[in-house]
């Protein structure tokens, strides 16, 4: 990519060569630093989101396991109840 293309892509009014020598407080340099901060925030949020998705998946698996255990316990208790009930008759 040529320097002129980069300049147009980022919307800088001064040439890239000049920008590289510019003080930090020029509007273009401020824009670059703000874009860098925004990218870092976006990356952090994406990592955080991915972590939350993994947590949700883990909790959903645990919930499914608990539901299965509950069904097994209900069946076991039902069978015990039937046996005890027939013994009482």
pLDDT (tens digit, 9 = 90+) per residue, 22-42?
788 888 788 888 988 999 999
Q: What is the dihedral of CA 83, 84, 87, 89, to 10 degrees?
A: -110
- The per-residue pLDDT for range 27-81, each reduced to its tens digit, is 878 888 898 899 999 999 999 999 999 999 999 999 999 999 999 999 999 999 9
CA–CA dist 69, 12 (Å, integer): 62
Dihedral sign of CA atoms 51, 55, 60, 64 in order: positive
Residue for token digits 């069946």? Answer: 75
Q: Whole-model pTM?
A: 0.59
Length of the chain: 89
């Amino acid at each position: 990519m040529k320097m002129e293309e980069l300049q147009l892509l980022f919307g800088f009014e001064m040439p890239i060569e000049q920008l590289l020598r510019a003080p930090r407080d020029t509007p273009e340099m401020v824009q670059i630093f703000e874009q860098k901060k925004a990218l870092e925030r976006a990356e952090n949020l994406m990592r955080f989101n991915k972590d939350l998705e993994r947590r949700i998946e883990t909790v959903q698996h645990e919930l499914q396991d608990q539901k299965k255990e509950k069904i097994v316990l209900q069946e076991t208790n039902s069978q015990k109840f039937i046996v005890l009930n027939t013994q009482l008759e």
